[in-house]
Structure 1
Amino acid sequence: MPAQLSIIIVESDRDRALQIVDSLREAGPFDIKVISEPTALARKIEEHQPDIVLIDIANPSRDILEELAVASGPMERPVAMFVDRSDEGLSAAAIEAGVSAYVIDGMQPARVKPILDAAIARFRMFQRMRTELAETKRALEERKVIDRAKGMIMKARGVEEDEAYAILRKAAMNQNKRVADVAEALVLAAGLLS
């Protein structure tokens, strides 16, 4: 996150928006923009590219949550949603849409900064988890390709698994490539020849 965070506040009540802005100004040097109308929220978030989105809404609808999910904003930045009341299942839907903090019982200006801090921390934690999951999936896919390539070498040359891997590794070193890249090229070439 940059030194000066940019925050979009989605709040239709002007007085309440000013209270939120004042409370944030007391907490630190933020670049704050207020959106008074939640329609076309995805477009507005995309247009401003804030670091954090703070939504204060009396009773959220599934439409707003769907628009948040479509905006892909929650996957790119923390989103804190303050609601006065919540229907059954809306908090779960909000979390699935990517909301980092879902606070029922409305927004109280004194609680805004600590909740934003928690939303940022939670967002970073989930971001790390998504990154680790993607890396694990990639490593698993690479492992599968390497195993297929080893199997092909074992069959073609009549060698054991360790020797097949040594052949792959030597080819990778000679080509200044990763073993997974050489294995993928071998599997692709074999697929074209069969």
Structure 2
Amino acid sequence: MSERLKIIVVEPDRERALQIVDSLNQAGDFHIRILSEPTSLASNVREQAPDVVLIDISNPSRDQLEELALASGPMDRPVAMFVDRSDEGLSSAAIEAGVSAYVVDGMEPRRVKPVLDAAVARFRMFQRMRTELAEAKRALEERKVIDRAKGMIMRHRGLSEDDAYALLRKTAMDQGRRVADVAEALVTAAGLLG
């Protein structure tokens, strides 16, 4: 973490918020903003664009937890949540809502930095996994379109599968396009004509 992290701390109790800020200041150089009112969290997160959101809440309900997690943009940044106690299933709900770290038994100043580091690491790991999954899905969809285009060429031109693919590839190279883009155009055009 070479750049100075921007952190939003969501804590209605001023004394506890200052403890969190002190703990973070002892652990590193961060740009920290305290929000004492979680109701404006979504707009503040959009406006401030923090790198990390730390939420301290004594006893959240499932609705509060999901609302806080979603408002803090867990798919865009790490979210660490400290709770004093947690009812059955709330930790699972928090993780499903995208919270990177869910710490039960309250916020202790000495634990803030390690939890922050864990939340950032976990967020980055899941972000990589989401990216890889999206790329795999895109590649699979492209493969399906290429296979459909090859099948159309094979039927209309009487070519083998290898020859149909070679024709798609040559056309893509001649046009300076990707094979998947040429295949998509062919499938789309055939859909309009058929």
Q: Normalised by the shorter chain, which TM-score bucket?
A: over 0.9
Give the TM-score taking structure 1 as reference length.
0.96
Give percent identity, aligned residues only. 77
The CA RMSD measured in Å over matched residues stands at: 1.2
Q: Do the aligned residues in 2 keep the contact of 1:46 with 1:71 (CA within 8 Å)?
A: no
Tell me what 1:104 maps to: 104
Unaligned runs of at least 5 residues, structure 1: none
Question: Which secondary structure does the structure 1 equivalent of 2:181 belong to?
Answer: helix
The more displaced of 116-125 and 71-80 is: 71-80
Structure 2 unmatched ranges of 5 or more = none
User: How many angstroms apart in 2 are the aligned matches of 1:72 and 1:81?
Assistant: 11
Equivalent residue number for residue 130 of structure 2: 130
1:64-99, CA deviations, whole angstroms, 9 ceiling, x for partnerless residues?
A: 333235436100000000000001111011001110
TM-score (norm 2): 0.96
SS at match of 1:39: helix
Q: Deviations over 1:85-143 (max 9, x none)?
A: 00111101100111000000001000100110000000000000000000000000000
Q: CA separation in 1, counterparts of 2:144 and 2:72?
A: 31
Q: Which amino acid aligns with 2:9?
A: I
Q: What is the correspondence of 1:1-194 to structure 2 with a 5 Å cutoff?
A: 3-71=3-71, 73-194=73-194
Q: Is the 8 A contact 2:69 2:79 kept in 1?
A: no
Once the two structures are superposed, residues 19-64 of structure 1 have per-residue CA deviations (whole angstroms, 9 ceiling, x without a partner) of 1101100111100000111123222222211100000110112233
Q: Secondary structure, in 3 states, of the residue corresponding to 1:12?
A: coil
Question: SS of 1:91's equivalent?
Answer: helix
CA contact (8 A) 2:41 2:72 kept: no
CA distance in structure 1 between the aligned counterparts of 2:50 and 2:109, rounded to whole angstroms: 20
1: CA distance, partners of 2:72 / 2:31: 21
Q: How many residues align?
A: 194
| Residues 12, 35 of structure 1: 8 Å contact kept | yes
Q: Distance in 2 between matches of 1:55 and 1:72?
A: 9
* C-alpha contact (below 8 Å) 1:68/1:97 kept by paired residues: no
